[in-house]
Amino acid sequence: MTVDQKVRELQHFINGSLVDGTSGRYSDVYNPSTGEVIARVPLASREEVITAIENAKAAFPAWKKVSAGKRAEVVQRFRQLVSENIEELIEVICEESGKTKEDAKGEITRGLESVDLAINVAHMTKGEYSVNVGGGINAYSAKYPLGVVAAISPFNFPVMVPLAQTSMAVAVGNAVILKPSEKVPISALYMSNLWKEAGLPDGIWTVINGDKEAVDELLENNTIEAISFVGSTPVAEHIYQKGTSYNKRVAALGGGKNFMVVMPDADLEKTANAFLGAAYGAASQRCMAISGAIPVGKETADKFVAILKEKIANLKVGPYTDETVDFGPVITQQSKDAVLAAINKGIEEGAQIVVDGRNPKISETSKGFYLGPTLLDEVTPSMEIYEKEVFGPARIIVRVESLQEAIDLINDHELGNGVTIFTNSGAAARKFQEEIEVGMVGVNVPIPIPVGYHNFGGLKRSKFGEGYMFGPDQARFFTKVKTISERWLEEDDETASTFSFPSNESGK
């Protein structure tokens, strides 16, 4: 697959082949850097989703029987192909998402951590064994794949999140259906070709493009055993409630309002540098992006804001083809409008604008969906821009007088995805990490996203269900456990009927 500038007619990937959509419904795919339509993606009907599910169901039994070692070899070959084609995949990501090349490369690298973990599938799926638990009986557990599972991924990480959602699911023996965001479908189709080339059997990897109609069929279809979702909190809650009502296993990760607490003893220059990338990287379109800073004490806040003001003014926004830019556009015009509305509402409610990025110079010459970095100070918990996740480069400063006040504010917020503290005090760091009710915690780490072999997931309304993304929990989520009690009778064994509940009281 090559990237060109003409409008492309995209397809689904079903049963090992690219398949034209038949619903007659399409959605435009934009290049956010130029505002131009680069492709049209078909939106699947329920009938098309059912066909995809049936193909996956038919392919599953044979893949289930393939040894863990052989499945790991396929995953290993896929990883190698991603590495060999990384420059082309970077270009695909950049074109459809607007990310800088450096950011796209980082996304792929983090995604491959999940693939690396999946290569260790034989270790991840080991069971337990107990000898002679009673009466010559041995007991053991074994993990088996679920069957057909689905992943619904967001626009902001078109490669990393799908890899995190699906690599282990494939490795443990499931057939996987990916429903990527209709805003960024090209990356998923590109990876489909790599899975095919890696030797994955037809039907084990499926990409079905679509909107709510496709999602509803995935949620309601009895063949789908599990759903992995990443997106906004309202949609995550809907996915969880509806999916579980159909008796599915669901892990639904939502949004975050991720704060950086800045203590008076922190190195403010270094902390400000950390804030810039964590807050504005990828145009702030990360669920783990720092939403705002909470400096402790007026002196700390005044100094920190002054440093940030100077540094933010030097950030450069532009297209990914310009390798000097710090970040690119937001994903759509609708996203841009939503961020502008959030900024304007914050100012209306009393926030003070420190840096105004609502009208970057590039907007005068480009039709891309650009916003410059904006910083609002004197934000309070009663303001809408404090309560809601803003998926764009508008960040906030919330002033407090103590570490305890910062902890209480964060714990009172409905979202609990990620949080970090910058300090040189071990006591402050320990108090913070023990008392904070947030799933991923950083100490002098700007974005506390775990590596691929640790579980990723927030608390409160940032995650619904007990499943995680990344980490060893993926093997548990995508498998079912059978516990077997086994005894082999010898010829001289005397057996008689017993009506008491089995126990080890007799020691036999």
Q: Is residue 455 part of a domain?
A: no
The answer to whether residues 68 and 207 belong to one domain is: yes
147, 192: one domain: yes
Q: Report if residue 159 sits inside a domain.
A: yes
What pLDDT is recorded for position 2?
42
Do 40 and 159 fall into the same domain? Answer: yes
For residue 6, the model assigns a pLDDT of: 78
Do 113 and 453 meet the contact criterion of CB atoms below 8 Å apart? yes
**CB 9 within 8 Å of CB 39:** yes
Instruction: State whether 243 and 379 are in the same domain.
Output: no
Number of compact structural domains in the chain: 2
pLDDT at res. 1:
39
- The count of residues in the chain is 508
Residue 505 lies in a domain: no
94 noted as active-site residue: no
**233 and 296 both lie in a single domain:** no
Q: Would 234 be classed as within a structural domain? A: yes
Q: What is the pLDDT of residues 13-70, one digit of tens each?
A: 999 999 999 999 999 999 999 999 999 999 999 999 999 999 999 999 999 999 999 9
- Same-domain check for residues 282 and 137: no
Residue where the block lists tokens 């010459």 = 365
- Specify the pLDDT at position 343: 98
DSSP 378: S
Cα 242 to the center of its chain, rounded Å:
20
Residue 498 lies in a domain: no
- Quick one: three-class SS letters along 313-328? HCCCECCCCCCCCCEC
Same domain for 376 and 232: no
Helix residue ranges per DSSP H, 132-207 = 160-171, 186-198
Determine contact, residues 371/357, Cβ cutoff 8 Å. Answer: yes
Distances from the Cα of 232 to the Cαs of 153, 154, 312, in angstroms? 11, 9, 27
For residues 314 and 390, membership in a common domain is answered with yes
CB-CB contact of 271 with 422 (8 Å)? yes
Residue numbers of the domain that contains 49: 8-254+462-482
Domain end position, chosen among 443, 474, 495: 443
176 lies in the same domain as 309: no
pLDDT value for 505: 61
Domain CATH for 61: 3.40.605.10
- What's the pLDDT at 492? 72
CB atoms within 10 A of CB 128: 10
- Cβ atoms of 18 and 8 within 8 Å: the answer is no
CB 377 within 8 A of CB 358: no
Domain boundary among 391, 413, 443: 443
Residue 165 lies in a domain: yes
Residue spans of the chain under pLDDT 50:
1-4, 507
What is the structure's pLDDT at 504?
63
Q: Within a domain: residue 420? A: yes
Distance, CA of 360 to CA of 406 (rounded, Å) = 33
* Of 19, 151, 287, 301, catalytic: 287
Do 141 and 127 contact (CB within 8 A), yes or no? yes
Partners of 129 in the β-ladder: 140
CA angle 454, 267, 328 (to 5 degrees): 60
User: Each residue of 478-506: pLDDT tens digit?
Assistant: 999 999 999 988 777 666 676 766 666 65
SS (H, E, C) 383-451: CHHHHCCCCCCEEEECCECCHHHHHHHHHHCCEECEEEEECCCHHHHHHHHHHCCCCEEEECCCCCCCC
Buried residues in 194-217 as b, exposed as e (16+ CB within 10 A): bbbebebbebbbbbbbbeeebbeb
Task: Report the CATH number at residue 269.
Answer: 3.40.309.10
Distance CA 413, CA 409 (A): 7
* Same domain? 270 vs 222: no
3-state secondary structure of 330: coil
Give the model's pLDDT for residue 457. 85
Distance, in Å, from the CA atom of 98 to the CA atom of 18, rounded to the nearest integer, reads 25
Residues 157 and 265 in one domain: no
For residues 222-242, one letter each, b for 16 or more C-beta atoms within 10 angstroms of the residue's C-beta and e for the rest, the string is ebbbbbbbbbebebbebbbeb
For 228, the token pair is 């992995």
- Does residue 90 lie in a domain region? yes
Q: How many CB atoms lie within 10 A of CB 162?
A: 28
Q: Do residues 265 and 143 share a domain? A: no
pTM metric for this prediction = 0.93
